[in-house]
Amino acid sequence: MHDLKKALDLLNSSNELYFLIISILVAYFLGSVPIADRISRRRGIDIFSKGTGLAGATNVRKEVGFKSSIIVVAGDTLKGILAILVAQKFGVSGYWIFLPAFAAIAGHWRSVFTNFRGVDGLIVLGGIIIALFDVFGVISITLAMLIGLGGQKLFYSSLMSIVAGNVSLIVLSATFEGPQIFKLAVGTGMLSTLVLIHALKGHSKRNKEKVLDQQFQSEAHTL
């Protein structure tokens, strides 16, 4: 009887691992769907060669148009939501949910459909937060957007908006939800930090490349 119970526990563990792996792969695939790239190409524009070189809503708005950027925002948000819903359907819960969540963001960073090019992943992160926290997620995302828009001329506007959004999420979860949701909110803060670090590193790299390009052009003109 003990051996049978042990075998059943092992089978359940194997099934859980199998579904976790499947949910991670599905999440990466969803995150990789190149919505901004496809919409831009329909207008005859290679978004990776324009503006910031990122296939994101902001660059699409500037280089393609406002309506196209709205579609990108909606599509990228949906990618994050679906990644979580699929994982939950497969029985993934607790801290394990952050593995498919990160996979969706990683797919957005490095899409297999665009030679592993992508964008920062902030909108996909927003979809993940909405899927995990429902109304509280919408409130925190709305607050982050308002602060981001209000301080968009400031250098650290993205940092301020993400910090404000996550702090509000943690406070709301601690006040109105149980400890499990609160722990998820803290974990989401850690995931948001990773996304922010990736975004800031990319921003710094693009600025350095821009400065070097300007220096090269300046030197070329003096020859």
* Total count of residues recorded for the chain: 223
Instruction: Give the model's confidence band at 8: pLDDT under 50 very low, under 70 low, under 90 confident, else very high.
Output: very low
pLDDT of amino acid 223: 56
Classify residue 175 by its DSSP letter: H
**Residues 138, 134: Cα–Cα separation, whole Å:** 6
Phi, then psi, of 66 in degrees rounded to 5: -65, -45
Coil, strand, or helix at residue 131?
helix
Q: How many CB atoms lie within 10 A of CB 176?
A: 11
Q: What average pLDDT does the chain have?
A: 85
Q: What is the mean pLDDT of residues 196-223?
A: 67
Pairwise pLDDT comparison (178 vs 112), residue with the higher score:
112
Q: pTM of this prediction?
A: 0.85
Written as one letter, the residue type at 43 is: R
What does the alpha-carbon distance between residue 104 and residue 70 come to, in Å, rounded to a whole number? 20
